[in-house]
Amino acid sequence: MDNSTCQAYEDEIRSLEEEIKLLAGKYEDNQQESTFFSDEEILMAMKSFKEEFRGDYKGYESPSDLEAQLESLEKDLSFVMKFTGLQFTSHSKKTVERTGNRAVQRHRLSGNCHSLSFQLEFQLLEEQNKDKVSVVVTDLSIVLESGEDSDVSKFVSSIEEHGNLLMFFRSLSSYAQWCEHRSSTFLHFKVE
């Protein structure tokens, strides 16, 4: 009798811990995804955070800890956008589903690549199977400026049909390289 009560308690503990984990995740997702702060608001927050700090360490070594994290991430992002030519101007995501080993998010992304601007929407499914994480893009929709060109719209339709997000970005990137090459070549001739 004692053993089975023990077991029942242990099972309930496990299930509660699981539920708490999911709820905590959901809470965080909601917090993150339903708010937006502009760059000015971020700067103001940074300023007031430094002022608040006089005397009260909220789990950080110093205000510069948080500032350092922010700066480092901005630097990394700036590097990769400059290198690839892909400038993302806005990004939002909404967690549509989150269970034990599966998460589905809806993403909205806009940006430009040289003179071409684009807006995308897609669904991202992440699933944990044993030791592998599978990532699948579905429901892809792309709006590409200069989409009146029939070749471009054929290209976009084919990408959307197969969810070929990676191919889309690779093609944009090589277009960017071509643009850069062309403009540097042009400059060369101009100087001559």
Partner 1 sequence: GVYAYLEMLGAQAHEAALKQEEKEQQEEKLDRLKKRVEELRLQRDKLRAKVDLQEKRNLGKEGFVSEPAQPSAQSVIEWKIRSLRALLQIFYLTGISGKPTKQGVCFCISTAYEGTYLDTYHVDLLTTADVQIYRHSIPVFIPLGQIAKKYLQTDIRRFLAVLSEHLNAYAGRRFQVEQLQEHFSEQIEGPLQKNSLCNLLVFKYNMSSESKTFLLNAKLLYGDICSSLPTEVTVSCSPDAPAFLTEVAAAHSDLFRRMALHKAFHSISTAGSMEA
Contacts of 81 (CB under 8 A, 6+ apart): 87, 88
**Burial letters 51-62, b for 16+ CB under 10 A, else e:** eeeeeeeeeeee
String of b and e for 78-105 (b: at least 16 CB within 10 Å)?
eeeeeeebbeeeeeeeebeeeeeeebbb
Q: Note whether 61 binds partner 1 by CB under 8 A.
A: no
Contacting range for partner 1; rule: CB under 8 A; set: 13-21, 96-104, 146-154, 182-190: 13-21
Q: Per CB under 8 A, which region of 15-23, 96-104, 141-149, 182-190 contacts partner 1?
A: 15-23
Asked if residue 169 binds partner 1 (CB under 8 A), the reply is: yes
Query: Which lies closer to partner 1 via its Cβ, residue 5 or residue 148?
Result: 5
* Cβ(114)–Cβ(183) below 8 Å: no
Contact stretch for partner 1 (CB under 8 A) within 69-77, 95-103, 142-150, 183-191: 69-77
CB closer to partner 1 out of 148 and 188: 188
CB of 34 to partner 1, least distance (A): 5
